[in-house]
Each structure stands twice: as C-alpha cells, then as structure tokens.
Chain A
Amino acid sequence: MSVLDRTGGPAGAASLAEPGARSSVRSVLERGFTVIRNQNWIILVSGFFEPVFYLLAMGIGMGTLVGAVEGPGGREITYAAFIAPALLATSAMNGAFYDSTWNVFFKLRFAKLYEAMLQTSLSPWNVALGEILMALFRGLLYAVGFLGVLAIMGLVTSWWALAMVPVAVLIAFGFAALGMGVTSYMTRFQQMDLLNFVMLPMFLFSATLYPITVYPEAVQWVVMALPLWHAVELMRQLSVGHLTWITAVHVGYFVGMVGAGLWLTTTRLRALFLR
C-alpha cells in the first residue's frame, strides 16, 4: 500500500494514505486544475478567441450589409449588438459541451480515468459533478473575457449585462450535464461525429445570426424547442435589460436541463462501473 502511495505522487501522498481522506468532488477538481496548469491551458485560452473573431467578422462586415435589426422589445439595435449575446451563449455552449463530450469520451474509453477514480472511494456523483464543474470553469472564463470585449466595443448598454456571466455558467451547466450523459452511450470515435451533426445546425438555426421571424411558423416552433434558442434569447434580453415573464421560461428550461443531465450522467456512470 505504501509503495503505491509513493508512486501516486509526492505531494499529497501522506494524506491520501488515509482512506477517504479527500475523496470528494474536490479531488476531481484538483486533478482537473493540475492538468490545465501542466498541459492544456494554452488550448483553453485560445478558445476565447473564437467568438471574438466571429463578432469582429460578422459584426463589422455583415453589419454594413444588414444595418439595424429589431432587438428585444422591438427596439432597433446594431447588427453587432444583435449577434454579440448569441455568440456568448454559443461560446458557453461549445466550451462546456466539448469539454464534457470529447474530453470525457477520451477519459472514459481510452484513458480509463473514471474506472480508476471509481476504484477509490469517489462516488459516481463526485466524478460527474467534478467533471461538470471543470466545464463550468471554462464557461465562466470565456464569459468574463467576452463580456470585457463587448464592453470595450461599446456593445453593453445595460447593467443587466453583468448577469450574462452567471447565466453563461447556467447555460454551460445545462450543456455539460447533458453532454456527459450522452457521451456515456458512445463507444466509438465515429459515433462522436454525430454530435457535430447536432451542434452545427443548432448553431446555425437558433436565431443566432438572424431573427427567428424569418422562418415559417412551423419551423419557429422547432427552433423554440432547441436549448440554444433559449440561451440566445435569454442573453439577448439581458444585454439590453429587457426582461419579461418569458425570461423566466428560458431560465426554467435550463434549470430543467441541468437536473435531467445530472440525473442521466450519474445514473449512467453507476450503470457503467458499479455493477
């Protein structure tokens, strides 16, 4: 036993020797941050640039072709101000979703990391929550950075915009929880490609780059069922401070998604490893 502890890592070796000493969600987080510090912080940071590039290109370039657009509450806003909240919602979704799908898939099927974690006194709940919290951290990072960019570009017109940060985390929570649960069903790389077939259309059709009103009514109902649409609308309302009872519906959608996702992920991890 003591030999194993020594190979396990010099730092916390002594405290890890006590069974169950720190076997909580904290251990999972600690590992996550160590990986970021040692390996992939540069990839993590680079993800911030994607929505910024989109905002620059579409906001400036398309803006000259489109002119003003009708924003929440019927007020005219610039095209850049119209797409900016949508891009923040999309970036929160993408960051969390890729963290909780590809990343988790690799750990689950190749690195066998969860198998190892569940051999300790960590519970499926600990593992699931730890991984999801890591995805949220990424979402939080991007949201704060992007809000800064919006402020510099003069696209923030309401104090409600500050609420976009916690809301970005909520959106990330919904996608991360569900994404990890869905990933647990995947066994091969090719199946992971299916996720792209869902994510790209969702980005393109969720009223991100143009208002939902360009669709026929039947299509509008389909779009309104998609989670990203609720995220985009929620962000758009916050960006100008126009809140209605529908705001509560959007928030409710994500609260429900978080609950369902957490339940699915935990159930699946239990089914996979604790038979």
Chain B
Amino acid sequence: MTERADQTAVGHHHDDLDTTGLAYSGRAPSHAEMAGRARRFGAWYYAETTLRGMRAYLVPNAITAIGQPLLYIIAMGLGLGALVGSGVGTVDGVDYLTFVAPALLVSTVVMSVTGEMTYPVMAGFKWMRTYYGPGATALRPDQIALGHLLAVVIRFVVQSAIFWVIAVAFGATTLGWSVLMVPIGVLAAVAFGAPLQAYAASLEGEGFQFSFVQRFIVMPMFLFSGTFFPLSVMPVYLQWIGWLSPVWHGTQLARVASYGAEVPGWLIAVHVVVLAAAGLAGVLWARRVYARRLIS
C-alpha cells in the first residue's frame, strides 16, 4: 500500500506524464490516480478518442469541408446571384453573394452535424457499441455524451473556419468581425446537434427515424430558414419554420457579423438566447439518456 501511495505522490508532480509509455514500462500511475484523472478530464479523453476515430474519414471530411463552400458559393452566390442581380438587384441592401454567404456557412455546418449525431450515436449504443468500453471505466455517461459533442464541435470549428476563409477569398465578406461567423456557425450546430444527439441516443433500434429527421426537419430547415431569401418574403404560414429553426437564428447572427445586417439589439439577444438554450437543453437531455442506457 505504501509503495502505491508513493507512486501516486510522484504522479501528482508530473501531470503531463506519458501514461501509455509508463504503462508499458510497468511504472504507470496507480489505478486510483488514473481514475481520478478520468473523472476530471473524462469528457476530453472521450473527445480525443472520437477525434482519432474521425481520422479514418479525414479525406472525405476534408473534401466536404473545402468542396461544399466552393460549390455553394459558386452555384448559389454567383450563379443564382446573377439572376437576382437582373431581378431585384440587391437583397437586404447588399449584393446576393454577400447576402447568401453567411447563411450558407451556418446551414452547411448544421447539415453536417446531422451526420455526426445520428448514425455515429446509434453505432455507439448498438452497431459498434463504442460507448460501452469507456462506459465500463471511471468515465461517467455524461462525460461520454459531452466528449462526443466536444469532438464534433472541434471538427466544426475547423470546418467553419475553412468556409470563412473561402468566403473571404471570394469577396463574399471582408476580414474583421466576420470571423465571428465561425463561433456562430458552431453554436447553431450545437443548438441542433445536441438535442439530435439526445434523440438518437433514445432510439433503441434504427428504422425510418433518421430518414425522417433528414427529410422532414433538416431539409425544410435548410430551405425555409431565410437561407436563400429573407424570411419575410415567405407567406406567414411558412415563416414559423424559420422562427423555430436554429439555422435562421444562426444565419441572422452571421449576417450581422458578416456585413452588419440591420437587426435590432433585442432580436440579436433573442437569437443568442434561443441557440444557447437549445444547445443546453440538448446537453442536459443527452446526459440523462446516456446515463439511463449506460448504467444498468
């Protein structure tokens, strides 16, 4: 016992120890020490695991992260923009490319989060059971849920940043405050992704649910959230889709950051509160569902 206590003491002095190397050398920190670290930093540990897993899809993910902004900015911003230019001319006081670029950033990130928070969550519980191994360690279920979300957030920080750089390169926005589009895009992604994660975790088996989410929530959200045109041009009976949609709230914020769209201060506050509340509610819900399924 005393020997082990000594090792624990040593471990405290070197918090950045290479624990894997130590384990091979037989001088790993004690189990209690390792468990203590897992309890403190478990979410980060799980996020690291998930990110390492994502490396298998690095090439397709990178192509998506670079290809999507290029495709959408060229097709929608320039192609469709040419039509709008010969139609009404400017939208919201700016040319169409400037108007649509922040919306494209937000909606592509939110659409990508759907992929990360449906099938991989189902795989974690059912197909590959990747949650159960970590679940059997000192990690708590809520850390696993949060860790998965953190990894996804890190991925989307990178993806949004790439989009922003490409938007700047195309002259769709200018350097400066527009960089706030990156955290705004990630916030919108969490506002949709966290509740979706909880919902996916609550499903026992895969059926038509994910296809339904894709067809009846994600697709309408993309199309009816004032992405391609101001929400106000839609008839009122379709505008509510935008009001409920994280894409619209995120898009409006991103427009303010990108070209200073005229949004009153109270409405900016509403957008931020709605997104933060949805994300928080999702995280809390996910904690409960993960705890129920991993502790039995």
Contact = CB atoms under 8 A, between A and B. Distances in A.
Q: Determine if chain A interacts with chain B.
A: yes
Interface of A: 40, 42-43, 46-47, 49-50, 53-54, 56-58, 60-62, 64-67, 69, 79, 190, 193, 197, 200-201, 204-205, 209-211, 214-215
A205 B57 contact: no
Interface string B56-73: 110010010001100110
Given A193-B60, A201-B71, A60 B228 contact: no
B71 A214 contact: no
A215 B74 CA distance: 11
Nearest to A42: B208
Given A46-B215, A50-B215, A66 B83 contact: yes
Contacts of B234: 60-61
Contact of B88 (A57, A67, A200): A67
B219 interface: yes
Contacts of B83: 66, 69, 79, 210-211, 214
A53 B211 contact: no
5 contacts: A49-B216, A65-B96, A190-B56, A211-B83, A214-B83
Contacts of B192: none
A49 to B, nearest CB: 6
A10 to B, nearest CB: 26
Residue picked from A53, A57, A210, most chain B C-beta under 10 Å: A57
Mostly, the A contact residues are helix
B273 interface: no
Contacts of B220: 53, 57
A62 B208 contact: no
Interface string B77-113: 0111011100110010000100000000000000000
Question: DSSP class of B's interface residues: helix, strand, loop or mixed?
Answer: helix
Nearest to B88: A65
B235 A43 contact: no
B125 interface: no
B270 interface: no
Contact of A204 (B75, B82, B208, B233): B75
Contact of A58 (B56, B72, B84, B228): B228
Contacts of A200: 68, 71
Interface residues of B, number: 36
Given A66-B83, A200-B71, A43 B211 contact: yes
B84 A66 contact: yes
A32 B75 CA distance: 37
B177 interface: no
A58 B75 CA distance: 14
B238 interface: yes
Nearest to A67: B87
Given A53-B220, A62-B80, A210-B82, A46 B229 contact: no
B224 interface: yes
A252 to B, nearest CB: 27
A175 B16 CA distance: 56
Contact of A209 (B74, B80, B211): B80
A40 B223 CA distance: 25
Contacts of A193: 60
A209 B75 contact: yes
A53 B228 contact: no
B265 to A, nearest CB: 27
Contacts of B240: none
B87 A66 contact: yes
A61 B228 contact: yes
